[in-house]
Amino acid sequence: MSVALSLAEGAQLSWLPQETILFDSARLTRRIDVDLSASATLLMAEAVVFGRSAMGEAMNHGHYSDRWRVRRGGRLIYADTARLDGAIAAKLAAAAVIAGGIAIATVLIAPAADDKLAAVRALGETFIGEVGISAWNGIAVARLCAKDGAALRHDLIAVLAALGTPVPRLWLN
């Protein structure tokens, strides 16, 4: 899967697709390339769920590769690559990965605003899963992980609300 986004001067984009659900033996390689003009604003959220626990499904084996590159005015401002291959469920069980959870998300905010970061951090104990947000060089990135897709969606909706962004109606069906 290849996603290419280009934002002209003064453009604003909220990229908020529903979560990607990966089934056992799935193989996904995703590449996201974003080109921002100097005055463009981006809020981007991508979520991945490794199996549907409510349906008794797990992603035991497979491949997941996710590569993000964001440029502002042609200069690279954010690069991230995540990759899981082989025994996915066993890897997700590791404490340093998701400690048995099956759902992850990344939220990128460019440019970052201190008041919005503070609003996300103030949610603290209301999260079901784990959420952390960091800011540097004018951007912010929130990372979320949860035991399942429902918990992740709860936390992701809370983060977006704190950022002042309503979720698409499709998310609420």
**Tens digit of each residue's pLDDT (9 = 90 or more) over 123-150:** 988 999 999 999 999 999 999 999 999 9
Provide the residue ranges of all domains of the chain, joining segments of one domain with +: 2-172
Condensed to tens digits (0 to 9), the pLDDT of residues 106-129 reads: 999 999 988 888 999 999 889 999
- The pLDDT value recorded for residue 148 is 95
Task: Report percent pLDDT > 90 for the chain.
Answer: 82
3-state secondary structure the chain: CEEEEEECCCCEEEECCCCEEECCCCEEEEEEEEEECCCCEEEEEEEEEECCHHHCCCCCCEEEEEEEEEEECCEEEEEEEEEEEECHHHHHCCCCCCCCCCEEEEEEEECCCHHHHHHHHHCHHHCCCEEEEEEECCEEEEEEEECCHHHHHHHHHHHHHHCCCCCCHHHHC
